[in-house]
Structure 1
Amino acid sequence: MSTVLAQQWISVDGFLAGTKGEADVFAAVGDFSASEAHNTALLKDIDEVLLGRRSYETFAAFWPAADDEPMAHQVNALPKTVCSTTLSSASWGAHAAPRVVPDAVAHIRSQRPTDTRTILWGSVSVMRTLLAAGEIDELELFVAPIALGSGTPLLAAGGAPLSLRLQDSETWPGGVLRLRYTVA
């Protein structure tokens, strides 16, 4: 059976970004070496990267030409799927083009009988849609040492509570915490 891991950077007060989408969470992290080492090891067991349209556009503008980045070869080599109702095609520089699907839930459900391991990066709306449908198995949070006070929360306001069971955790340089949960 397939598994879906959603990975998010988050502030200590539960925000993914500032009120205007600012990347203050990332700016608060002075050393990404632990997350890069973690993801380099993790990506060896990943079969697909899942992205929403906005995350895809950000990633596609960076990773295809990021040859000096530790994870670039793995990120560029992995098959990618973009969930979008506005794109009909997607490119990834000189690498294999991502597949575009209009429905994230249908896509994940079609893979459930297989042994596919999918990682969802960023893509807040896709993550929330998959969580609401019960299609995220694990949630990994990288907690940056910053409190934003307001912004884009992990979960949409008014949604159902999300029950989680802690699998493991680590403290990384600069006060970053990695928390890995099973979605109950």
Structure 2
Amino acid sequence: MGQLVVVNFVSLDGVMQSVLSADEDRDGGFDEGGWVLPYVDDVVEQVMSEATAGAGALLLGRRTYEIFAATWPYGDMDDPAVAAMNAMPKYVASRTLTDLPWANSVLLGADLAAEVGRAKAATEAETAVLGSGDLLRTLIGHDLVDEYRLLVFPLILGGGKKLFADGGIPRRLTVRISRGIARRSDSPPD
């Protein structure tokens, strides 16, 4: 059985809303969109490329699917991550979508926990969850996540949708790998 792996960007205060674009998700009046872009470097690109090219499938919520389907099919097919994302199965959780134009996309049924269980059983490879905040909170609530690969960025947004909602089920996790150092931007360098 494959593993369900969350690969996501979060701020120090746990916000994951609207990481790449100001217009990605303005729910709740969020106006800090695009906050990841100033921090994208070779390390971030390598981690994300490995996560996507190494996955056997994707599991996406509706909003993330629509954003990805509008760009990834038209990317550089010589890029291993782009080629992998276009070729792999993409499982989509949505109550409103009926047409999935991106190749190899499968709409999941109403019993999300059972559907995700079947998708995990269908592969020995990892199924990566990227973005997809509402879906993630459902997956976390059903204890379906096997691993979190979080890229934590050195900023505090003060509000926005968080990866882990208040009132969630307590969990103890084990840190396997940790890289990076955060310091205030007004602090002198070492």
TM-score, structure 1 as length reference:
0.80
Q: 1:14 to 1:78 in 2, by over 3 A?
A: same
Shift of residue 145, structure 1, vs aligned partner: 2.0
TM-align CA RMSD: 2.3
1:86 and 1:21 mapped to 2: Cα distance? Answer: 26
Aligned to 1:110: 118
Q: 1:126 to 1:158 in 2, by over 3 A?
A: same
Residues 11 and 145, structure 1, Cα contact 8 Å, conserved in 2:
yes
Shift of residue 97, structure 1, vs aligned partner: 3.8
1:68 and 1:112 mapped to 2: Cα distance? Answer: 26
1:6 and 1:20 mapped to 2: Cα distance? Answer: 23
Residue 170 (1) aligns with residue 179 (2): yes
Shift of residue 25, structure 1, vs aligned partner: 3.0
**Which AA in structure 1 matches 2:92?**
V
Residues 5 and 119, structure 1, Cα contact 8 Å, conserved in 2:
yes
**Which AA in structure 2 matches 1:142?**
L
Q: 1:6 to 1:30 in 2, by over 3 A?
A: closer
Q: 1:83 to 1:67 in 2, by over 3 A?
A: same
Residue 40 (1) aligns with residue 57 (2): no
**Local SS of the residue matching 1:129:** helix
Aligned runs of 1:1-184 on 2, under 5 Å? 1-17=1-17, 20=30, 22-31=32-41, 33-67=42-76, 70=79, 71-92=81-102, 96-102=103-109, 103-114=111-122, 115-171=124-180
Superimposed CA distance per residue, residues 139-158 of structure 1 (whole angstroms, 9 cap, x where no aligned partner): 11111121101111111222
1:155 and 1:21 mapped to 2: Cα distance? Answer: 20
1:28 and 1:91 mapped to 2: Cα distance? Answer: 31
Shift of residue 106, structure 1, vs aligned partner: 1.6
1:22 and 1:74 mapped to 2: Cα distance? Answer: 31
Residue segments in structure 1 that go unaligned for 5+ positions in a row? 177-184
Superimposed CA distance per residue, residues 81-123 of structure 1 (whole angstroms, 9 cap, x where no aligned partner): 111111122112xxx2411113431222124544242001110
- Equivalenced residue count is 169
2:31 and 2:65 mapped to 1: Cα distance? Answer: 15
1:141 and 1:69 mapped to 2: Cα distance? Answer: 27
Superimposed CA distance per residue, residues 8-67 of structure 1 (whole angstroms, 9 cap, x where no aligned partner): 100111111275274243234242x32322233344442111100000011111111122
Q: 1:90 to 1:144 in 2, by over 3 A?
A: same
TM-score, structure 2 as length reference:
0.78
Structure with bigger gyration radius:
2
Residues 17 and 133, structure 2, Cα contact 8 Å, conserved in 1:
no
**Local SS of the residue matching 2:143:** coil
1:81 and 1:21 mapped to 2: Cα distance? Answer: 29
Residue segments in structure 2 that go unaligned for 5+ positions in a row? 19-28, 183-190
**Local SS of the residue matching 1:169:** coil
